[in-house]
Structure 1
Amino acid sequence: MTEVTFAVLDVAPEPYAVSPALTAQIAVVADDPVHAIALRCQVRIEPLRRPYRDDEAAGLTDMFGPRERWANTQRTFLWQHTAAMVQGFTGSTQVALPLECTYDFEVTGAKYLHALREGAIPLQFLFSGTIFRPPLANGQRGFAVQQVPWDQEAQYDLPVSVWHDLIQQHYPNSGWVRLGHDTVTALTSYKSERGMLDIDEAVTSLLAGVRAGELR
């Protein structure tokens, strides 16, 4: 059986992507020639592997509750699944894994990443897939097939600044939230009735009204 190992060399923004995307460069090492690997990867976030400032903790309350509960509530969670085809090689090679990103705050990963201000994002890569290799016996035709061992994984600390730069590139000084149709209709009517320029101004006006009511 061919022994194969994986390591994460780098994770960087994809500069020409239409939507936010990162690319993970993965080193693959094998002790026998490999014809191809249908590689799959589960990318998870390990929140317990880093400390948090008070302003970061405030942004994570919806996910983990107050800080005193984090020992019980902070658990590794799925960020995304990704896949790539590794071409044939002997010895070692590199493959690019696409990591699609979203700024939708309904998605747990986006909510977590938005709350971070500094430091690194603790990622865990769990590799799986199918390895195709030439048959070891001389004269045999076709390919031998085996699975990537279940214990193949790697960790990588992605600088928070890389994430923020990526989002700023695609959503400069802005973001977006998903609203129900009735809410959008109500906001649009509120905006139009008051001659406001956009939805942002309408939301800002409503928030100011709420704060003024709370101060009374």
Structure 2
Amino acid sequence: MPELNFTVQGATPDKYAAAPTLQLAIAIQQRGCPVPIQSISLQCQIRIETTRRHYDPAEQARLSDLFGEPSRWSQTLRSLLWTHASVVVPAFSGECSQINLPVPCSFDFNLAATKYFHGLDQGVVPLLLLYSGTVFYRNDEGALEMDLISWNEEARYALPVQVWKDMMDLYYPNQSWLRVNRQVFEALYDYKRQCGHPGFDEALLSLLADVKRAAS
């Protein structure tokens, strides 16, 4: 049975994917006596270890929607599930220096992970990668065998916040996505048409200006 060790060497935005995607560079090493690996069907659960970094006052204010007031963070700050990813690793023996693991990303602000990423100014996002999957390999007689990767196989990686920001700027330059109820959308659309605003940005700015005037 092959014993594997996984490490994350870096992360870059995928410039050519249909939706926002990060490529995590994964290195795989065999522990002990290596055997010829035919392939690995690799699955990965990626979690955000929120307690493993410091948050400045501005970040705390933005993340209050997610974790509540900072005075309660000792109770509310918990690990978050970010996403799942998978890749097929080709044949190798001993060491596979780099496999790109495509990580799908979302800009949906109804998701906790998106709120978390958006709330950070700089620094890193502490990630925990939990691996599972199936390993196909050749035994000493050359016969093909199969074994499972245990969930005990894991790796940590400090993802630079700027990498996530650069990826979203690549796919949505100077834009953010906001999902609203269909009735709210229809009401906003009617307001935009009736007031003659060329786009939804202008309609929302007009509504915000009305609110400020009413409050002053």
With normalisation by structure 2, the TM-score equals 0.94
Out of 39, 42, 47, the position equivalent to 2:45 is 42
Number of the residue aligned with 1:211: 212
Match of 1:152 in 2: 153
- Give yes or no for contact 1:24–1:96 (8 Å, CA) kept in 2: yes
Query: Which residue does the alignment assign to 2:171?
Result: 170
Distance in 2, Cα, partners of 1:210 & 1:54: 27
2: CA distance between counterparts of 1:153 and 1:201? 48
Query: Do the aligned residues in 1 keep the contact of 2:135 with 2:147 (CA within 8 Å)?
Result: yes
Q: In the TM superposition, what whole-angstrom CA distance separates every residue of 1:10-54 from its partner, at most 9, and x where no partner exists?
A: 111112223211100100112322111110000111111111111
2:126 alignment counterpart: 122
Partner residue in 2 for 1:55: 58
Question: Counterpart of 2:87?
Answer: 84
Shift of 1:124: 1.0
Map of 1:17 onto structure 2? 17
Taking the aligned partners of 2:118 and 2:212, their CA distance within structure 1 comes to 24
TM-score normalized by the length of structure 1: 0.94
Q: After TM superposition, where is structure 1 displaced by more than 3 Å over at least 4 residues in a row?
A: none
**May I ask how many residue pairs the two structures share in their alignment?**
212
Q: Does 2:183 match 1:188?
A: no
User: Per-residue deviation at 1:101?
Assistant: 1.1
- The root-mean-square deviation of aligned C-alpha atoms, in Å, is 1.3
Please tell me the residue identity of whatever aligns with 2:154: E
3-state SS in 1 of match to 2:19: coil
Aligned to 1:161: 162
Which amino acid in structure 2 is aligned with residue 182 of structure 1? Q
Matching residue within 101, 121, 125 for 1:97: 101
